[in-house]
Amino acid sequence: MTATATRVLVLNSGSSSLKYQLLDMHDASRLAVGLVERIGEETSRLVHTPLATGGAKRETEGAMADHDAALKAVAAELAADGLGLDSPQLAAIGHRVVHGGLKFTAPTVIDDAVLTEIERLVPVAPLHNPANITGIRTARALRPDLPQVAVFDTAFHTTMPEYAARYAIDVATADAHRIRRYGFHGTSHAYVSRKTAALLGKDPSEVNVIVLHLGNGASASAVAGGRCVDTSMGLTPLEGLVMGTRSGDIDPAVTFHLKRVAGMSEDEVDELLNKKSGLIGLCGDNDMREIRRRIDEGDDRAKLAFDIYIHRLKKYLGAYTAVLGRVDAVAFTAGVGENAAPVREAAIAGLAEMGMSVDADRNAVRSDEPRLISPEDSRVAVAVVPTDEELEIAQQTYALVSA
Ligand code: AMP
């Protein structure tokens, strides 16, 4: 890495998508952001926004057969803005990797052995790790000389005590198949819990925070003095809160019932719980804006879906208050948490005995900045703290390669 190399390319590879951001860590500014969708289909689409040049958003459609073709198209767009991947200013590529198991507790420079280990985790993350691996292979082929760093969604949760991470099932069976609670969205929980401490003017080591990451996927975490002590997602991102399309917590016997009584196959049950449950299963919509609109029109199904979503959130707030013993702050983040004031109001309503309340005027403010929504004298600070997983990945990547 040269002394002037301060740029980091962040790649988030999904099964048929590739999201990217090029950041300059000199001032944490974004130089370009974009997304390739429908990789492998006839009409893949690349949307590229060159923020550094102030240029207009560019959209290209055309077949991109695989991630290799997609990344090459992204590289061409970046080169057209004078931000090519061959630039000596590029310090590293940071990859979002969903599952790091127990082995990866921190961001890691990728070599062949690390890649093999990430592959070994495919059985516990069959939906996510294969796409991440493809992204890594593609980027390594394009710039073999450049440090590539894996930043794991699970890493922040590896500090969970054993009694929080273990399921109460036969230990030998659990260990043989690496079955335990890993948690996800860790990059967001790490970033938001730190930002929340900063909002309170404190060091992360001084505060206990409950983070509610409410996006299409949703998870809660209990963070004590900067360390995660519990989180709502488990072996997979299916456990915990009610989500856009996932059920969250459910009696595992429901799955036996669906197979034995309803005659569904393993894959059908998987699809039902991951893709056709949660808000979409309950009311046919997974976008909170649409659900609120329907509630305003008097739609009972939408109202019930909302109430189930809120009830689950309250249960986790209660549980994590007990786990932490003392709560200094509750932080709402991600698409729903940052934008849906009615969700924040409803989740906190009735929790005054737990020291939590929301000020209606503060809650109505729209802003991209971290902000308090609790009254001045609230025992627990309730906050909206926008997440920024790409910035966190870039920071962790840059810290590692510039150390
Ligand atoms: P994320 O996964 O963090 O991108 O969050 C996506 C979800 O955020 C969407 O499915 C919506 O439910 C929700 N969302 C985004 N914008 C708003 C908004 N203005 N009001 C309510 N919900 C929103």
Same domain, 241 and 379: yes
In a domain, 36, yes or no: yes
CA-214 nearest atom, ligand 1: 3
Pocket test residue of 96, 187, 339 for ligand 1, highest count of atoms within 8 A of CB: 339
Going from the Cα of 336 to the center of ligand 1, the distance in angstroms, rounded, reads: 4
Residue 123 has a pLDDT of 86
Q: What is the mean pLDDT of residues 59-80?
A: 92
Same domain, 385 and 262: yes
**322 CB-contact burial (10 Å; exposed 0-12 / middle 13-18 / buried 19+):** exposed
Same domain, 136 and 218: no
Contacts of 224 (CB under 8 A, 6+ apart): 208, 324
Bridge partners (DSSP) listed for residue 12? 19
CA distance 2 to 397: 16
Going from the Cα of 213 to the center of ligand 1, the distance in angstroms, rounded, reads: 11
Q: Is the pLDDT of residue 388 over 70?
A: yes
CA-279 nearest atom, ligand 1: 12
Please identify, among 152, 182, 209, the residue that sits at the C-terminal boundary of a domain.
Answer: 152
- How many structural domains does the chain have? 2
Same domain, 210 and 143: no
Pocket test residue of 213, 288, 345 for ligand 1, highest count of atoms within 8 A of CB: 288
The CATH number of whichever domain residue 266 belongs to comes to: 3.30.420.40
Contacts of 386 (CB under 8 A, 6+ apart): 333, 338, 368, 369, 370
pTM for this model (two decimals): 0.94
Residue 1 has a pLDDT of 54
Q: Which residue has the higher pLDDT, 220 or 131?
A: 220
Going from the Cα of 195 to the center of ligand 1, the distance in angstroms, rounded, reads: 21
Q: Which domain holds residue 113?
A: 7-152
Least confident span in 65-79, 224-238, 368-382: 65-79
Residue 2 has a pLDDT of 57
Mean pLDDT of the chain: 95
Pocket test residue of 153, 336, 345 for ligand 1, highest count of atoms within 8 A of CB: 336
Question: Strands 329-333, 227-231: parallel, antiparallel or unpaired by DSSP?
Answer: unpaired
Asked whether 13 and 31 are in contact (CB, 8 A), the reply is no
pLDDT-based confidence at residue 15 (cuts at 50, 70, 90):
confident
Q: Which residues line ligand 1 (CB under 6 A)?
A: 215-216, 244, 286-289, 334-336, 339-340
Please choose, from the candidates 154, 279, 291, the residue with its C-alpha nearest in 3D space to the C-alpha of residue 216.
279
Tell me the CA distances in angstroms from 225 to 163, 324, 358, one per residue in order: 18, 10, 24
Same domain, 227 and 329: yes
- What confidence tens digit (pLDDT) does each residue in 217-246 have? 999 999 999 999 999 999 999 999 999 999
Same domain, 358 and 234: yes
**Percentage of the chain with pLDDT > 70?**
99
Residue 308 has a pLDDT of 98
Residue nearest to atom 1 of ligand 1 (CA): 215
In a domain, 327, yes or no: yes
Same domain, 108 and 241: no
Q: What is the mean pLDDT of residues 290-307?
A: 98
What backbone torsions phi and psi does residue 166 show, to the nearest 5 degrees? Answer: -85, 140
Same domain, 116 and 254: no
Same domain, 241 and 383: yes
In a domain, 254, yes or no: yes
Same domain, 73 and 145: yes
Going from the Cα of 386 to the center of ligand 1, the distance in angstroms, rounded, reads: 12
Active-site annotation holder among 81, 153, 230, 328: 153
CA-288 nearest atom, ligand 1: 12
Please identify, among 88, 118, 152, the residue that sits at the C-terminal boundary of a domain.
Answer: 152
CA distance 256 to 266: 10
In a domain, 194, yes or no: no
Going from the Cα of 352 to the center of ligand 1, the distance in angstroms, rounded, reads: 27
Largest CA distance in the chain: 65
Q: What is the mean pLDDT of residues 343-351?
A: 98
- What confidence tens digit (pLDDT) does each residue in 167-202 have? 999 999 999 999 999 999 999 999 999 999 999 999
Same domain, 354 and 213: yes
Least confident span in 130-144, 253-267, 386-400: 130-144
Residue nearest to atom 8 of ligand 1 (CA): 335
Token pair, residue 330, equals: 């509750």
Among this protein's residues, is 359 annotated catalytic?
A: no
Residue 128 has a pLDDT of 83
pLDDT-based confidence at residue 124 (cuts at 50, 70, 90):
confident
Going from the Cα of 363 to the center of ligand 1, the distance in angstroms, rounded, reads: 16
Residue 403 has a pLDDT of 85
